[in-house]
Structure 1
Amino acid sequence: MTLETLRIKEELRTLIDDYATLGDEKKISQVMDLFTPDVKYDVYMNNSLISTVSGRENMERDFNKHAADVKTYFTINGQHKVIIDGNVATGISFSQLKMIRENDGKDILSDYSVRYEDNYVFQDGKWLIKERTGYFLIIETKILSN
């Protein structure tokens, strides 16, 4: 493995970690900077496509709407495997994503185990996510006792 390959892998890992960190902080406009303008983002739950969005502007609107309903996000990223081919790459990453929403005055914790499949592109001197598919594989919810 060359130093260049290691550098690119680190940049791609930073990209997905930035996505998680900025998302947890609800910095949606900064999250959008991690995607190409023509991004495509699909979400599957229980093997069913529940959401698809194309374009950074549409995605920002959807993310802001979602963030308005969530009191707290907390994400932990796990393994990240990439295959690099010049100025494009593919990757698979795993995340544990927790969200707290309020419902009828009670805090509800949703805990998601997610597998992301990404297509990356090197554009304007940085790596960006061009396509992302999130597979929410395990979903648990419970009422939090405060």
Structure 2
Amino acid sequence: APFAETGPALWRQVMAVNLDGPFHVCNAALPYLRAAGGGSIVNLASAAGLTPRPNYSAYGASKGGLIMFTRSLALELAAENIRANAVCPGAIETPMLAATIADANEAAILARYALRRFGTAAEVANLVLFLTSSEASYVTGAAYTVDGGSVFH
């Protein structure tokens, strides 16, 4: 929604889902990660948290906040062998995307993506799988885009 149409209730709802939710999940997971001697946290942020977009003030702020929260976790928990990273998807083929672009021109939207297509959930999952694996044991505090090159536009 445009900022002028974003009242306190909508702002709070977006923050509750996109920022408070991950806070509570990380808080609940922390004792288990500590008991295991370490682990990996992967928060799902958004490319909208890295690049401002019109009509995304609440959403972009919540996802940008999630990226900073994730980076803070990376610093605070590194000594306990707990890594934290953020994945920042762009437009991914989901029902949410379909509802968002129902009235928009898909070709105009795809023109903002270097790869000229929407991503898939599997492509996001592959990055999450890598970040939670031992192959990413030296990766923490990063925010990775899976966005077909949309952050360039």
* Fold similarity call, TM over 0.5: no
TM-score (norm 1): 0.31
TM-score (norm 2): 0.30
